[in-house]
Chain A
């Protein structure tokens, strides 16, 4: 746990400027076992202090990897000087941000560190189970990844905070030969918020899921290519969550709206079927702690839920102080920086499509000829809302029944067009708690949703 040496230095803040001081420790653990070989056994820690100073419409920033009283003075002075330096080039001065009420915000739990041996032993045990149980795979990989953060935030005119984000994930990747001898891959991730005792205290639960993964891969090995074209599909919650994040979420980050995203001119307009609502939750969703609870952001703003789409209408954006000031709304607490040396950017937290009333089995039964798209390993979208997702696992739907598995394919479309075709939404939300989003810096995020039925373009030869 990092010590608060920062709050006593508020006196260093210049009164005419808005300053945020952040102390941060990030911890990374990575273990990779490939075919029984321990090829990575890594521990990494970084900590430091940064200051961001806003003055007349531009900001100075400085950071150092030292964590001391001297370092606090150094970064506040350097950031203040940088703000003044930039002000010389700034021809359009802006007013200060509206002040926010003071409070001290703490997240309910801190980080626990475990010996590397314990982490390695868990991975070895999982690897041994896979090696012993499955004789028909080409290769196996077990990866343990932990990326935890702890932050102390001290602001001149908003909240102070001391928060932590413990997170650990195990990935299991299996390879098997297809019926024509080509290597095929399928993976599953397990874990999420918390530490190993929260997520991996009972490995027999995990083994059941690995058995399911193996069964799915075996079906995929007998799989067929999907037909290309616009198809009726059921998107599994994992895929729907990816669309909520990539294809909608990024277009409604207010900095990207200012950059010309498709969302800007559509605020208040119908952008989806009325069955579709999307929210970026701060810390609590559906009455429970969200998978990545954010209580205060790195600008000292108490985190609020951001309602993005409500019954098909685009209702709002995610904001930091700069964009909130620009749009004349309250900041939503979406500004987060990844490393101590990273400036806060507008980032999603727990972005989710809200559940509907349909049952998954009824949704599948309603499709005569289409696909059930189950797993995506990746996705990208741009300002226009045009998106692409790789589909690693899916099944044909013929006459309302699941059929053969399909081989890897890609789906694409334009988010606000595709979401207008949604005509069924399942009643159960599943979260993907281990996401990492890339936007100049990486960032821990979670996403989720129910299954949705829609039309989408499937790529293929």
Chain B
């Protein structure tokens, strides 16, 4: 194992020899162990050792970046020279910058010593549990993984962050299968930091399995109507990420295509909706300690009771668009819980869907969403009637966040986000209709 701090000192000194240059870099060593099970049998065990170095340099207000997966000084110095060479072709822009210096700090969190034998046991136990409790689930593939990283981040303003962390990860791919029919592929994913509990209790695994088992023999909806939908936590997170990409991200602001570009301080969503990004939240397993630009990461609220508080901008976009930069890179999404139990949300629906996934392309900047409802259930007069097939939902993301009717008391945490169920009114639902 290389001495990353020693290497970082040499790299820092090398970068300092470059006149009129500011920049930041990170050196990282990662070790991963991954177990694969297919159809209840262990099929692959992988061990991966990787290094990485990435650098951003700004010279004469021109930016260049380079990254390699080596951490010997010769390769790193060449990467820095390559990045500097790239700046020569760049366009000067005063908005390129790095964060001011921060005091040197070290961070250690998560699982720094893995227990691979225990991870094997837990993996086998989960496979056996699924076979016993969910006989109509075909476990196509399951990965359990341990990831450990050691990172040194520095910038030419004096920042030095040393970070060591480790976590476990699980990813399942499965389908409902009763020997005659099969559902579409479903999945469940989470990261976690303890092997004390059975893996089936992690994230939303148990519920995802149940929903898939109940999705065999789906029904077709033969009509088109406007109804209510409940986004499951996973699906709700997907929709909110689309919304953020189209409304508050760097590119949409630089391109001036965001329909929220002049809406800071204004009501853009239902007062029930509060969205934050909180890397320091105890439920988040992998904490971000600094932003990509080198600022100390802090929690922030994007939408507070429906009011847009800020944009999810990097330092460059903030300088470019003359707005405040976001306090972190917006990866730890937390939506505040509401006060309605999920079962009561379902009971209140006259006609609609519980939507577990939407197979769709990224909605355009106007927010129009049109996609196939996957892992979804038809609800009528407060009762779940069955899973659906060939059913589409259509709406507009910007309207949807205004049309939130309820948010669940329950939240699901997968180690990277905390999300409740969200009920939206007035969404167009259409089955396979005839010409």
Contacts and interface: CB of A to CB of B under 8 A. Distances in A.
Interface string B119-148: 010001000000000000010110000000
Given A35-B254, A139-B255, A230-B434, A461 B44 contact: no
Contacts of B392: 228, 410, 412, 457, 459
B50 interface: yes
Interface stretch (B87-95, B154-162, B304-312): B87-95
Contact of B257 (A44, A47, A175): A175
B89, B371, B435 interface centre (most CB from chain A within 10 Å): B89
A45 B38 CA distance: 32
Interface stretch (B7-15, B176-184, B193-201, B290-298): B176-184
Interface stretch (A6-14, A112-120, A271-279): A112-120
Nearest to A71: B49
Interface stretch (A61-69, A153-161, A203-211, A353-361): A61-69
Interface stretch (A81-89, A289-297, A428-436): A81-89
Contacts of B49: 62-66
A287 B278 CA distance: 57
Interface in B23-53: 38-39, 41-52
Interface string A372-394: 00001111101110111110000
Contact of B320 (A37, A64, A178, A459): A37
Interface in A36-76: 36-48, 57-66
B68 A44 contact: yes
Interface in A414-461: 414, 455, 457, 459-461
A194 to B, nearest CB: 22
Given A38-B90, A459-B430, A259 B361 contact: no
Contact of B90 (A41, A185, A382): A41
Contact of A35 (B38, B255, B434): B255
Interface string B250-274: 1100111101000000000000000
B44, B70, B370 interface centre (most CB from chain A within 10 Å): B370
Interface in B50-107: 50-52, 54, 63-70, 82-83, 85-91, 93
B365 A410 contact: no
B368 interface: yes
A412 B372 contact: yes
A408 B368 CA distance: 8
A62 B256 CA distance: 46
Contacts of A120: 86, 89-90
A378 B361 contact: yes
Given A34-B251, A383-B175, A343 B428 contact: no
B347 interface: no
A229 B45 contact: no
Contacts of B370: 390, 408-410, 459-460
B329 to A, nearest CB: 16
Interface string A245-270: 00000000000101111100000000
A144 to B, nearest CB: 12
A34 B254 contact: yes
B44 A59 contact: yes
A61, A64, A120, A382 interface centre (most CB from chain B within 10 Å): A382
Contact of A90 (B41, B361, B390): B41
B240 to A, nearest CB: 19
B98 to A, nearest CB: 15
A42 B177 CA distance: 45
Given A41-B90, A44-B68, A414-B390, A82 B361 contact: no
Interface residues of A, number: 88
Nearest to A79: B47
B257 A341 contact: no
Contact of A228 (B140, B224, B374): B224
Given A230-B434, A380-B359, A388-B371, A39 B316 contact: yes
Contacts of B364: 183-185, 408
Contacts of B254: 34-35, 37, 39
B361 to A, nearest CB: 3
B171 to A, nearest CB: 9
A258 B177 CA distance: 12
Given A43-B83, A116-B89, A183-B365, A341 B41 contact: no
A341 B365 contact: no
A185 B65 CA distance: 28
A166 interface: no
Nearest to B363: A408
A341 B434 contact: no
B82 A116 contact: yes
A168 to B, nearest CB: 16
B368 to A, nearest CB: 6
Given A39-B316, A408-B370, A378 B66 contact: no
Contacts of B395: 461
A341 B69 CA distance: 11
B323 interface: no
B340 interface: no
Nearest to A40: B65
Contacts of A260: 138, 140, 175, 177, 182
A350 interface: no
Interface of A: 34-48, 57-66, 78-79, 82-83, 85-86, 89-90, 92, 115-117, 119-121, 124, 138-139, 141, 175, 178, 182-185, 228-232, 256, 258-262, 341, 343, 376-380, 382-384, 386-390, 407-410, 412-414, 455, 457, 459-461
30 contacts: A37-B254, A38-B93, A46-B52, A46-B68, A47-B70, A57-B41, A59-B45, A60-B44, A60-B45, A63-B47, A65-B52, A65-B70, A79-B47, A116-B64, A117-B85, A182-B366, A228-B224, A261-B182, A382-B359, A383-B185, A384-B182, A386-B184, A409-B370, A410-B361, A412-B390, A412-B392, A457-B392, A457-B433, A460-B370, A461-B394
Given A78-B47, A178-B366, A260-B138, 14 more contacts: A35-B255, A43-B83, A44-B68, A45-B69, A46-B69, A62-B48, A63-B46, A138-B257, A139-B257, A183-B364, A228-B394, A390-B360, A457-B433, A461-B394
Interface of B: 38-39, 41-52, 54, 63-70, 82-83, 85-91, 93, 120, 124, 138, 140-141, 173, 175, 177, 182-185, 224, 250-251, 254-257, 259, 316, 320, 359-362, 364-366, 368, 370-372, 374, 389-390, 392, 394-395, 428, 430, 432-435
